[in-house]
Amino acid sequence: MLWNYLCGYVIIQIEGLGLERFINRMLEAGLPIWGIRREDGGAMTASVSIAGFYALRRLIRSEGWSVRIREKHGLLFRLSRLRRRKVLLYGWAPTLMALLCLSRMIWIIDITGCDAVKEETVRQAIHAQGVYPGVARRGHTVETLQSAVEASDARISMASVTISGVVMRVEVREAEPGPAVQDDSVPAHVVARRDGVILSVTALKGHAVVKEGQLVRAGDMLISGDLTREGGEPLFVHARGQVLAETVYTADVTHALGETALQTAAKRAMDEVDTAAAIVEKSSRTILLPDGNVRAVVVVTAREDIGKTKELE
Amino acid sequence: MCGVIFLKKRIVKLKRRIVESMDFPAEAALGLARIQLLGQEKMYVENHRGVLAYRADCIRLKAEEGVLRIEGESMTLCELRRDRLYISGRISGLFYETP
């Protein structure tokens, strides 16, 4: 049945006398015929293959039988309907060609791992090597591209380039910034980063100039690197030490009536607090102003080392 | 004329004896029709020699051993090949017509 469908067949109606002879002629000619059915009026319907139908017309020429096609079945007839739709029929060829041609090019350049380095510098480094969206995939070695990317910026420690299909993946690994080098030989003081009340001072080098409970302002000297004695030779050291102090962060936000004033204020205050600081206390207050706005004040008290090295001129 | 028929009959008899003595399948050696019935609805005939008459209620087939008449209702010749055919419909009877 499937074979018949693929090759195509027609259901014909035959009219005339002695149709059994027609059947026998088909048999003798070896033409396949099936589904023979006698109609009430004496006519007969049968299914024959397309090749069989053309042969059959020669067989019945002199006999006075009339043959009509009732139905056409099969894939071939379905396809022949496409004959009028040329684009649909032949469109696969240009489509395939376009697909083949376009798949030989690089269309997407995917750069990942860029943090400090700008993606644009990497892109330009690749472009200088002649690789941009729409360029042919062949003729580029991954190694030269990798070294080009690595050379484009000093912060890039390693780059890997892989081509998969039309996508070129550039993975950039940036060098971790090394710890800040402290030059102990340069004379320096320890000064306050921000305002605070001193809790304790531990001078490892140099001598402390503030005491517990003292209020300091940002920029005030905490541990002095000047060890010159009265009447002696000038002596400067690179002062070091820990100065714990209680610091206060405040945020004051006025908003139109709503919940957000307090939340915004709290977020703003917390954003400001140094990550190394230990939070001692948080307090907040909201006030409804006479003009209908809400004012929120958040105060965060923290404990932290407020010392900062400041080199002497 | 009479002698020819007589000779033919003798040849057939001789053939039959040889086939029987050698235990050959008769349908292959003698060309007898081999008929399979599937209930009342399907019938499979091998070694037919052509269709003599075909109506929805009666089919007459030529076979080596004579004319085979199949009676039934709304019978169709489902598949028709040179040596075999396949009838479906409602088969009620199967007869050999004596010449």
On whether residue B29 sits in a domain, the answer given is yes
On whether residue B1 sits in a domain, the answer given is no
The closest of B15, B45, B14, B51 to B30, measured between CA atoms, is: B15
Give the pLDDT confidence score for residue A178 in this predicted structure.
66
ipTM of the complex: 0.71
Give the pLDDT confidence score for residue A237 in this predicted structure.
85
A23 neighbourhood in chain B, CB within 8 Å: 50-51, 54, 77, 80
Distance in Å, alpha carbon of A20 to nearest chain B alpha carbon: 6
> Which residues make beta-bridge pairs with A13?
A45, A68
Q: What's the total number of domains in chain B? A: 1
On whether residue B20 sits in a domain, the answer given is no
On whether residue B93 sits in a domain, the answer given is yes
On whether residue B78 sits in a domain, the answer given is yes
Q: Identify which of A164-168, A191-195, A282-286, B35-39 has the greatest average pLDDT.
A: B35-39
| β-pair type (A33-38, A44-49) | antiparallel
Q: How many CB atoms lie within 10 A of CB B75?
A: 25
% residues pLDDT > 70 (chain A): 97
At A178-217, the pLDDT tens digits run 666 666 778 888 889 888 999 988 888 888 888 888 899 8
Residues of the domain holding B50: 25-97
The closest of A249, A241, A242 to A279, measured between CA atoms, is: A249
The maximal CA–CA distance of chain A, rounded, in angstroms, is 147
What domains does chain A contain, in order, with CATH numbers?
Answer: 2-80 (3.30.70.2280), 105-174 (3.10.20.310), 188-241 (no CATH), 245-305 (3.30.1660)
On whether residue B63 sits in a domain, the answer given is yes
How many residues appear in chain A? 313
pLDDT tier at A313, thresholds 50, 70, 90: low
Indicate yes or no: CB of B80 within 8 angstroms of CB of A20. no
Give chain A's mean pLDDT.
85
On whether residue B18 sits in a domain, the answer given is no
Indicate yes or no: CB of B80 within 8 angstroms of CB of A27. yes
Nearest chain B residue to A28 by CA distance is B82
B54 neighbourhood in chain A, CB within 8 Å: 19-20, 23, 36, 38, 44
A27 neighbourhood in chain B, CB within 8 Å: 50-51, 80-82
Q: Among A3-12, A153-162, A178-187, B25-34, which is the least confidently predicted range?
A: A178-187
Of A20, A27, A34, the CB nearest to B54: A20
Assigned token pair, A305: 């080392």
B47: domain CATH number? 2.60.40.2000
- Quick check: B1 pLDDT over 70? no
What DSSP character marks residue A214? -
Give the pLDDT confidence score for residue A7 in this predicted structure.
84
Phi–psi pair at A53, nearest 5 degrees: -65, -40
B77 neighbourhood in chain A, CB within 8 Å: 23, 34-37, 46
On whether residue B75 sits in a domain, the answer given is yes
> Which residues make beta-bridge pairs with A71?
A11
Tokens 């006479």 label which residue? A290
Of B53, B55, B79, the CB nearest to A34: B79
First to last CA, chain A: 101
Give the pLDDT confidence score for residue A45 in this predicted structure.
92
At B50-97, the pLDDT tens digits run 899 998 899 999 988 889 999 999 999 988 888 889 999 999 999 998
- Report the C-alpha gap between A125 and B50 in whole angstroms: 85
Give the pLDDT confidence score for residue B93 in this predicted structure.
92
Give the pLDDT confidence score for residue B60 in this predicted structure.
93
Of A19, A23, A38, the CB nearest to B80: A23
Assigned token pair, A221: 């000297």
A44 neighbourhood in chain B, CB within 8 Å: 54
